[in-house]
Amino acid sequence: MKKAVILTADQFEDMEVMYPLFRLQEEGWRVDVAAPKIEEIHGEFGYGALMPDMTIAEVDPDKYDLLVVPGGSPDGAPSVVRKIKKAHEITKSFFSKNKPVASICHGPWTLADADVIKGRELTSYWHDGVPESVKEAGGKWIDKEVVVDRNLVTSRWPADLPAFMREVIKLVNK
């Protein structure tokens, strides 16, 4: 069974966590949600509440086939995850092994802070300093619903989720 891990925290963007979670489960994947603590986390719009399967500190990236880094508001989950050193280590591990990584909205903040996007094409939410963080980290920011650059799939916001997950599923089924 293929395994994915979603790195998030309280005040995640509901659809950006739940849609990939359910879509991957439909494909027969085991999906673990990792957060800073083992306590219930909530979507910022109240659609989803989840009990994490593990803490981000407990994630062993070698046990996973896909990393998903969703977004949320600039003061919510993405601003918490991007500050966690272990989240950077997990991200670096996936990139160093050319394993699939999917990130949407404010999620690319973690990729930028992990210093893995130099020379890579990607997209993100278009405000809140996310494109600037991508560019400062050496990434080429493109305003498109989905951008695929080798092992990396990125999208801008919840309305892009169908295109995002279509490309993620294509990538992991190669």
Active site residues: 106
Region of 138 (left: φ > 0; alpha: ψ -120 to 50; beta: rest) is left
How many angstroms separate the CA atoms of 19 and 48, rounded? 11
Residue 30 phi, psi (nearest 5): -90, 130
